[in-house]
């Protein structure tokens, strides 16, 4: 079956990521290049409603570097997808113009619903081989968190305006955060989860799957890694209690301690506490809803395959 070489770019609130892959119409996938830069495009957007000039410049520098890599790889199709931070910014046209100049393609600002669909498609391919559905896929980003329930396809999804950058800027200012800051952040996340549960029946979850940098970092901590190892994190299944313990440890750790964690990317040092808090609240809510329905959520699966893979597959 003939394959095509595609380049997928996912630009979120905290990071911008590139995947170059050969894909065919059946969804067979050969990864050629995968890279990530923390650019913090969403810096201050929750407060100002605009992209900060320095954040915009960081992102466009990375985009130009990706453009060179895409050209060198000979990719035939390119898709640049932007999510939460760009959806919220009044001055996003400056971003669009810069990306078009660098890559020759338009930025696609996708809805939370489409973000959920792409994340689900990217994540469940590998997970479904070893685990039973329905799957609840949780894509925890810098500005938003998507909850997607389904088995072969999406049955229900919702996008919440909570994420590691947004919650840090809104609530967690101390080093480490104070009890009052943590409680305010938890109350914020719980209110969003109450709304989300009216759309997505969390109690139907058989396998809980976590995606993106905050969750993979928590998993690396739970695995006891001294440096980040993608092959260890991908498809890791851990007991709920173990993951919650790591969330609590990362939330309580002062900055100096986080900096010394070899598995933690420097660009996540200042937002991982909020990411861990959001992930812990999601896990506890899903576990409680599953138990109330007579079931039991005993483990959590982490996937390194996510929206970026879904974007690449969408070009097959």
What's the pLDDT at 275?
95
DSSP letters spanning 235-256: T-EEEHHHHHHHHHHHHH--HH
CB 138 within 8 A of CB 158: no
From-to residues of CATH 3.30.420.150 in the chain: 122-307
Tokens of 303: 């996937």
Q: What is 3-109's CATH number?
A: 3.30.420.40
What's the pLDDT at 296?
92
What's the pLDDT at 293?
95
For range 145-171, the mean pLDDT: 91
Q: Is the pLDDT of residue 112 over 80?
A: no
CB 27 within 8 A of CB 313: yes
Which of 226, 217, 199 has its CA nearest to residue 278?
217
Q: Is the pLDDT of residue 310 over 90?
A: no
Name the band, by pLDDT with cuts 50, 70 and 90, for residue 114: confident
What's the pLDDT at 86?
77
Name the band, by pLDDT with cuts 50, 70 and 90, for residue 13: confident
What's the pLDDT at 91?
87
Name the band, by pLDDT with cuts 50, 70 and 90, for residue 23: confident
Whether CATH 3.20.20.70 fits 122-307 = no
Q: Which helix (H) or strand (E) holds 23?
A: strand 15-24
Q: Is the pLDDT of residue 143 over 90?
A: no
The alpha helices in 137-271, defined as continuous H runs, are 164-170, 179-197, 213-222, 230-233, 240-252, 255-259
Least reliable range by pLDDT among 81-90, 94-103, 213-222, 258-267: 81-90
Name the band, by pLDDT with cuts 50, 70 and 90, for residue 84: low
From-to residues of CATH 3.30.420.40 in the chain: 3-109
Residue with tokens 């905050």: 214
Q: Is the pLDDT of residue 129 over 90?
A: no
Q: Is the pLDDT of residue 222 over 90?
A: yes
What are the angstrom distances between the C-alpha of 127 and each of 61, 77, 99, 239? 34, 27, 33, 16
Q: Is the pLDDT of residue 109 over 80?
A: yes
The model's pLDDT over 44-57, given as tens digits with 9 standing for 90+, comes to 877 888 888 999 99
What's the pLDDT at 120?
86
CB 313 within 8 A of CB 121: yes
Is the Cα dihedral 271, 277, 280, 286 positive or negative? Answer: negative
Q: Which helix (H) or strand (E) holds 48?
A: helix 45-48
Rg (CA), the chain: 18
Question: For all residues of the chain together, what is the average pLDDT?
Answer: 91
Which of 23, 277, 20 has its CA nearest to residue 167?
277
CB 143 within 8 A of CB 84: yes
For range 180-197, the mean pLDDT: 96
What's the pLDDT at 1?
67
Q: Alpha-carbon distance 77 to 119, whole Å?
A: 20
Partners of 208 in the β-ladder? 136, 300
DSSP letters spanning 249-295: HHHH--HHHHHT-TTS-GGGTTTHHHHHHHHHHHHHHHHHHHHHTT-
**Percentage, residues of the chain above pLDDT 70:** 99
């Amino acid at each position: 079956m003939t394959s095509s070489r595609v380049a997928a770019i996912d630009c979120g609130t905290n990071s911008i990521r590139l995947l170059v892959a050969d894909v065919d119409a059946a969804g067979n996938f050969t990864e050629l290049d995968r890279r990530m830069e923390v650019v913090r495009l969403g810096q201050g957007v929750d407060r100002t409603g605009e992209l900060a000039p320095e954040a915009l410049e960081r992102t466009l520098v990375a985009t130009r570097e990706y453009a060179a890599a895409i050209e060198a790889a000979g990719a035939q199709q390119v898709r640049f997808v932007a999510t939460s931070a760009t959806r919220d910014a009044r001055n996003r046209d400056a971003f669009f113009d810069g990306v078009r100049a660098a890559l020759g393609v338009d930025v696609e600002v996708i809805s939370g619903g489409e973000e959920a669909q792409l994340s689900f498609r990217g994540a469940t391919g590998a997970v479904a081989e070893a685990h039973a559905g329905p799957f609840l896929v949780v894509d925890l980003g810098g500005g938003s968190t998507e909850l997607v329930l389904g088995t072969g396809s999406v049955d229900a999804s919702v996008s919440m305006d909570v994420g590691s950058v947004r919650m840090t800027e809104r609530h967690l200012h101390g080093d480490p955060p104070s009890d009052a800051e943590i409680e305010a952040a938890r109350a914020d996340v719980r209110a969003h989860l109450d709304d989300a549960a009216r759309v997505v029946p969390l109690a139907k979850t058989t396998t809980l799957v976590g995606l993106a940098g905050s969750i993979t970092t928590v998993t690396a901590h739970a695995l006891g890694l001294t440096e980040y190892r993608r092959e260890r994190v991908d498809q890791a299944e851990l007991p709920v209690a173990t993951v919650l313990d790591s969330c609590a440890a990362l939330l309580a750790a002062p900055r100096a301690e986080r900096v010394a964690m070899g598995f933690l990317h420097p660009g996540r040092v200042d937002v991982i506490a909020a990411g861990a808090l959001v992930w812990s609240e999601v896990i506890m809510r899903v576990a409680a809803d599953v138990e109330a329905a007579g079931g039991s959520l005993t483990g959590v699966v982490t996937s390194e395959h996510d929206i970026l893979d879904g974007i690449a597959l969408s070009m097959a």
